[in-house]
């Protein structure tokens, strides 16, 4: 959980609240007393963050107000900012348990088995676009479902340095290879191309604007209002000419359900219509993300001003997209 001042609205500028010691204490509470004991220790922690993080609290309120328009009215009373914070804390524990190896293949429901089988039997690499919805770390279950397939997860480890350090301490032999990427340079794209050509999958988030503050974003409709989403995953897909999948992991009825969809066999973007093609691709992704957010509204964890109406205009807006054709992905 984090917050930032009103002077900056980029998610990467949010400082990390909490420490490795704090997370270790919560993890120790779980080991000693189980999930019930963990929740007792979690309550004062979440109350503290809820009281001291006004920007995150307001961002949560703004998101929930939008998602309420798309879910049944009987759910509205449960969609409160504190419940949103609480759900984040609960899933934080699950993230640690995944990396400790306590959430295994048998604990995950593969809700779209045909798509997983297809990805396995084709023996082709590809890109898997994920989000900050649910528990992305459960993607490690995919490594067990596809034991002969390499998986590289692109992360901004500078933003979550403390959490990643703790995860490495809990399980240094994790199945997924984490790669720190603050921007998609040509060298990085070439390395990823080699991995995909070798049949590996690259996992990348599709709901955070570039850390570099570049112009590679699209303004799309998300839950009924304009929001800025990155083009990076789709630019990479167009370069690699490989299958693109979407994957969402939601905690439903106490178990994680992993959904995987084929987005496209190959994303081809003609130079003359490149911007339009990217816009359509990002909008399609936004529509699918919104659909899954409505399935589990409290599990989308972006505690910062997200919609354009909430953020001051910056130089990395959609108006600058006309220059994108000359830029590296």
SS (H, E, C) 171-204: CCCCCCEEEECCCCCHHHHHHHHHHHHCCCEEEE
> Are 239 and 196 in contact, with CB atoms under 8 Å apart?
no
pLDDT in tens, 63-113: 999 999 999 999 999 999 999 999 998 888 887 777 676 776 777 888 998
> Are 180 and 131 in contact, with CB atoms under 8 Å apart?
no
Q: Show the domain range for 293.
A: 2-311
Output the six-digit token pair for 224: 């009924």
pLDDT given at position 120: 73
pLDDT in tens, 36-67: 888 888 899 899 989 999 999 999 999 999 99
What lies within 8 Å, CB to CB, of 182 at 6+ separation is 156, 158, 211, 212
> Are 50 and 85 in contact, with CB atoms under 8 Å apart?
yes
Structural domain includes residue 323: no
Structural domain includes residue 20: yes
CA 146 vs. chain centroid, Å, equals 21
pLDDT in tens, 275-299: 999 999 999 999 999 999 999 999 9
> Are 24 and 166 in contact, with CB atoms under 8 Å apart?
yes
Output the six-digit token pair for 239: 């370069």
Output the six-digit token pair for 282: 């990002």
When pLDDT is cut at 50, 70 and 90, the band that residue 327 belongs to is very low
Q: What end-to-end distance do the CA atoms of the chain give, in Å? A: 30
pLDDT over 90 for what percent of the chain?
36
Name the domain count of the chain: 1
Residue 228: phi and psi, rounded to 5, are -100, 125
Structural domain includes residue 319: no
pLDDT given at position 160: 47
Structural domain includes residue 324: no
When pLDDT is cut at 50, 70 and 90, the band that residue 315 belongs to is very low
pLDDT given at position 168: 59
What lies within 8 Å, CB to CB, of 224 at 6+ separation is 66, 69, 70
What is the spatial order of strands in the sheet that 151-155 belongs to?
108-110, 255-264, 244-252, 126-130, 201-205, 151-155, 177-180
Structural domain includes residue 320: no
Structural domain includes residue 292: yes
List alpha helices for the chain, DSSP H. 20-52, 54-67, 81-100, 113-121, 140-145, 161-170, 186-197, 232-240, 274-295
Structural domain includes residue 326: no
Structural domain includes residue 244: yes
Regarding pTM above 0.85, the answer is: no
């Amino acid at each position: 959980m984090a917050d930032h001042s009103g002077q900056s609205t980029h998610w990467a500028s949010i400082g990390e609240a909490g420490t490795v010691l704090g997370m270790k204490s919560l993890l120790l509470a779980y080991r000693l007393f189980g999930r019930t004991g963990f929740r007792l220790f979690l309550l004062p922690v979440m109350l503290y963050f809820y009281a001291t993080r006004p920007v995150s609290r307001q961002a949560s309120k703004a998101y929930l107000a939008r998602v309420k328009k798309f879910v049944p009215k009987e759910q509205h009373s449960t969609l409160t900012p504190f419940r949103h914070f609480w759900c984040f804390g609960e899933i934080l524990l699950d993230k640690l348990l995944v990396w400790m190896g306590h959430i295994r293949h048998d604990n995950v429901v593969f809700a779209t088995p045909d798509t997983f089988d297809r990805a396995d039997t084709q023996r082709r690499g590809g890109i898997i676009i994920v989000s900050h919805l649910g528990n992305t770390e459960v993607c490690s279950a995919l490594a067990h479902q596809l034991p002969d397939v390499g998986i590289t997860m692109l992360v901004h480890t500078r933003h979550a340095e403390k959490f990643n350090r703790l995860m490495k301490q809990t399980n240094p032999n994790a199945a997924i290879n984490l790669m720190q990427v603050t921007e998609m340079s040509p060298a990085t794209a070439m390395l990823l191309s080699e991995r995909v050509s070798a049949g590996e999958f690259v996992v990348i988030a599709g709901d955070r604007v570039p850390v570099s503050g570049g112009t590679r974003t699209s303004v799309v409709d998300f839950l009924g209002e304009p929001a800025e989403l990155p083009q990076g995953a789709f630019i990479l897909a167009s370069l690699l000419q490989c299958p693109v999948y979407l994957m969402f992991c939601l905690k439903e009825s106490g178990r994680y359900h992993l959904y995987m969809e084929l987005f496209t066999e190959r994303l081809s973007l003609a130079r003359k219509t490149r911007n339009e093609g990217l816009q359509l691709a990002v909008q399609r992704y936004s529509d699918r993300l919104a659909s899954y957010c409505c399935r589990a509204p409290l599990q989308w964890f972006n505690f910062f001003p997200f919609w354009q109406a909430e953020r001051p205009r910056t130089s990395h807006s959609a108006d600058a997209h006309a220059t994108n054709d000359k830029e590296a992905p």
